[in-house]
Amino acid sequence: MSKPKPFPAITGSCVCNKIRYRLLTSPLFCYACHCNDCQKATGTAFALGLNIELYNISIISPTAPTIVSLERKPGMTDRFAACPTCNTELWSMREPVVDVKVGTLDFPSLMEPDAHVFVESKLDWMVLPPGAKTVEKGCDRMRLWPKSSLARYEVCMKRAEEAKRKKGQGDEKSDRSERGEDAEEEGGVEGDKTPTAAGELAGEDDEAFEKRFKETEKALQERLEKLSIKLEEEEEVTKKMEKSTI
């Protein structure tokens, strides 16, 4: 069996484009949350997020996001990275693994949910794609995440514990790492799976895995081709704009 193609680094930004960031590898998991809190917080039908290690996010703009704390309701305070100018929320700070807002990616359509959670409160008119994995309530990481993502999660937790032990070296580096500014110098961890995890769920036999692997690889290749076309078109537009200003 051939190894899945590595996921290409993709970029994202806030609304005003002052904050630009890049995912250094594929996400651990992608999900759509239909809970009432997410519906109210986003003002729409559901929240779409992806889980990834904070050190696998690199800030590529001169301006770095600020870390904001907000009490959503009594006893529930959220921390998230946001643009200091337009206040766009980029990712929730549930360290050391964060929840990136998929809509802030330049090509969000590449990230199809691995699972739809809290579908018990899904809006009645919302029709999910055929075959979509659904969960009535919350997301059970141990049951839903692929083994490769769980392994990366363990590595991430160990790195976080090590960072806590070294915190006495100063708070400045800790603050920089929190914003994602040290991602490349610390070194991101390369993932080995597709953007929509579709990982090896426990109990899956070899035949089922082989079939799903081929389907996943085909879907990934199609998305990569679409991404390449979009990037080429974007480069052509940029070149034309540069020529017009000369």
Specify the pLDDT at position 82: 95
pLDDT digits (tens, 9 = 90+) for 31-76: 999 999 899 988 999 999 999 999 999 999 999 999 999 887 787 7
Q: What is the pLDDT of residue 8?
A: 67
Name the domain count of the chain.
1
Q: Which of 87, 84, 86, 57 is nearest to 179 (CA)?
A: 57
**Residue pLDDT, tens place only, 188-209:** 444 444 444 433 333 444 455 4
User: Over 90: is that where the pLDDT of 105 sits?
Assistant: yes
Q: For the domain that residue 121 is a member of, what is the CATH number?
A: 3.90.1590.10
Domain annotation covers residue 234: no
pLDDT reading at 163 higher than 80: yes
Name the residue among 39, 8, 183 with its Cα closest to residue 107.
8
pLDDT band for position 182 (cuts 50, 70, 90): low
Burial of 92: CB neighbours in 10 Å, binned 0-12, 13-18, 19+ = middle
Average pLDDT, the chain: 79
- Residue 169 identity (one-letter amino acid): Q
In a domain, 230, yes or no: no
By residue range, what is the domain housing residue 79?
Answer: 10-154
Give SS3 for 146: coil
- Domain membership flag for residue 228: no
In a domain, 161, yes or no: no
For residue 197, the model assigns a pLDDT of 42
Domain membership flag for residue 199:
no
Tell me, yes or no, whether 95 lies in a domain: yes
pLDDT on residue 19:
96
